Amino acid sequence: QVQLVQSGAEVKKPGASVKVSCKASGYTFTGYYMHWVRQAPGQGLEWMGWINPNSGGTNYAQKFQGRVTMTRDTSISTAYMELSRLRSDDTAVYYCAREGGYCSSTSCHDWFDPWGQGTLVTVSS
Amino acid sequence: DIQMTQSPSSLSASVGDRVTITCRASQSISSYLNWYQQKPGKAPKLLIYAASSLQSGVPSRFSGSGSGTDFTLTISSLQPEDFATYYCQQSYSTPRVFGPGTKVDIK
């Protein structure tokens, strides 16, 4: 079955960087975009961007431009999200999510399914 | 960027109740609207895509409707496992944006 397994929890100091991994299995890794979404404690879902695992192309939310880098290693079917210059308000659970979708004769729809289990990143001095 | 709102932000309901959650987009998004369910400590789960299509494996008591700017998620008969937070998400344009969520708890 399709599965995304993320790396474990991290504790970082302000100003540091964190790199979260997302290992995919059960499907052709290069065939589907991978998105990253975060959720601060008690808050809603915030989209961070996507990576095309086939080409390595990326699209980041403007809020994270200059601080986020999404990469992939196709040899091990793993996507990565690195966030730099961490602040306390970056404390959140970070999720990877595969983009699913279909196209009819007139339109293409996409969604996030499945999701990884989440990685808690705590930023604290 | 497209903004998404949901109402209510929370609701209390009983098992067997019919529950309706509304999502509104700041501009027309046609039917580019998805719904997710999230339980505490768990990742979100896709329920409905393209406004009204039920994801495989999701119980038929869940349904979605709407197009343009106004959308609805309906649970026809609330079950104990349905107590969770529900998010809408637009897939019309980038950045992808989620609604703020609607928490459904037990009355």
Rounded mean pLDDT for each run of 10 residues along chain B, 107 residues in total: 98 97 98 97 98 97 98 97 97 97 94
Helix (H, G, I), strand (E, B) or coil at A75: helix
Interfacial B residues in 5-64 facing A (CB < 8 Å): 30-32, 34, 36, 38, 43-46, 49-50, 55
Range A5-28 burial, b when 16+ CB lie within 10 A, else e: ebbeebebeeeeebebbbbbeeee
A·B CB contacts under 8 A:
58
Residue A75 has pLDDT above 90, yes or no: yes
CB-based contact, A116 to chain B, within 8 Å: yes
Residue A103 pLDDT class (50, 70, 90 cuts): confident
Q: Could you tell me which chain A residue has the CA closest to the CA of B101?
A: A44
